[in-house]
């Protein structure tokens, strides 16, 4: 079955980086093909509590890329009787906590953050940790955005949830400075970025991180014989986040966009994935 689904996975992987906005085709070439399928298989084989880390600070709030995909994953996994939990810092935690199961991470002091992480891991005992568009530690132990600005003071640390957990990990990114990009650190030189060095078991790259969530759910749905994309409404999720103060990570405006792209681009991408599934 794995061999039969590999061509489908590879076609969706190519679609996710087809715009090549920030050079993710270059990083894709450094990954072993089939990573969407392998990530979906990890989720399929590890039911239970899934910790989903997300939230990238922009100015004094959070960006739309990351939380949209995290919510899509949360909702789909809940339908499958998993117990997903969103893990984020402020102000995203307060924006989500009344509507979703959430854990607030507080500390940007790395030593304290590691202790906090171990306490959460001991308490929740996750079957898998997933991270979507969350800042990753660089080689100097700091966090940087796409403009190479040091944002460490606004970043609670999530990296140790991947490095210290006794369970598989999946990470999603679209630029090189996110958690998980340490998996392709050797391929980072051509990118104009201060890269993250934090590794993961399976890395998914996409032009917009939210879109990678749709790719994972497409493959998980294929494994389960279910359509997990049918109920995803990017516009609705973006409207929800906008009402709670989100901004576009590129324009820094409170709009229904992801990395400057209208929500309709995400809707179109879901349609394209579903067409590939039908053809496959």
279, pLDDT greater than 90: no
- For the CA atoms of 50, 150, 175, 223, the dihedral, rounded to the nearest 10 degrees, stands at 0
Q: Which DSSP string do the residues of 22-86 spell out, in sequence order?
A: TSHHHHHTTSPS-HHHHHHHHHHH--SEEEEEE--EETTEEBSTTHHHHHHHHHHHHHTT-EEEE
Residues 106-131 have a mean pLDDT of 94
The pTM of this model reads: 0.97
Q: What is the pLDDT of residue 215?
A: 98
Residues 200-225 have a mean pLDDT of 98
Per-residue pLDDT band at 1 (split at 50, 70, 90): low
Question: How much of the chain, in percent, has pLDDT values that exceed 90?
Answer: 96
First to last CA, the chain: 13
pLDDT digits over 51-110, tens only?
A: 999 999 999 999 999 999 999 999 999 999 999 999 999 999 999 999 999 999 987 789
Question: How much of the chain, in percent, has pLDDT values that exceed 70?
Answer: 100
2, pLDDT greater than 80: no
Domains and CATH numbers, the chain: 2-279 (3.90.1640.20)
pLDDT digits over 12-48, tens only?
A: 999 999 999 999 999 999 999 999 999 999 999 999 9
């Amino acid at each position: 079955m794995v061999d039969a689904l590999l061509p489908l996975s590879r076609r969706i992987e190519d679609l996710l980086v087809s715009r090549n906005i920030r050079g993710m085709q270059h990083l894709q070439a450094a990954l072993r093909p089939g990573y969407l399928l392998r990530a979906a298989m990890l989720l399929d084989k590890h039911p239970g509590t899934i910790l989903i880390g997300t939230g990238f600070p922009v100015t004094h709030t959070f960006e739309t890329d990351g939380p949209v995909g995290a919510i899509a994953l949360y909702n789909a996994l809940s339908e499958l009787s998993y117990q997903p939990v969103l893990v984020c810092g402020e102000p995203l935690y307060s924006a989500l906590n009344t509507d979703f199961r959430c854990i607030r991470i507080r500390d940007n002091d790395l030593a304290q953050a590691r202790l906090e992480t171990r306490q959460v891991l001991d308490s929740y005992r996750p079957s898998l940790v997933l991270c979507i568009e969350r800042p990753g530690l660089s080689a100097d132990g700091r966090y940087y955005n796409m403009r190479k600005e040091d944002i460490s003071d606004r970043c609670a640390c999530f990296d140790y949830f991947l490095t210290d957990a006794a369970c598989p990990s999946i990470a999603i990114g679209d630029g090189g400075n996110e958690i998980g990009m340490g998996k392709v650190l050797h391929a980072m030189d051509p990118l104009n970025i201060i890269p993250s060095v934090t590794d993961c078991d399976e890395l998914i790259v996409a032009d917009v991180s939210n879109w990678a969530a749709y790719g994972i759910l497409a493959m998980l749905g294929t494994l389960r014989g279910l359509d997990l994309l049918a109920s995803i409404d990017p516009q609705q999720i973006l409207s929800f986040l906008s009402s709670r103060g989100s901004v576009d990570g590129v324009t820094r405006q409170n709009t229904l966009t992801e990395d400057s792209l209208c929500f309709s681009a995400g809707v179109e991408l879901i349609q394209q994935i579903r067409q590939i599934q039908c053809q496959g």
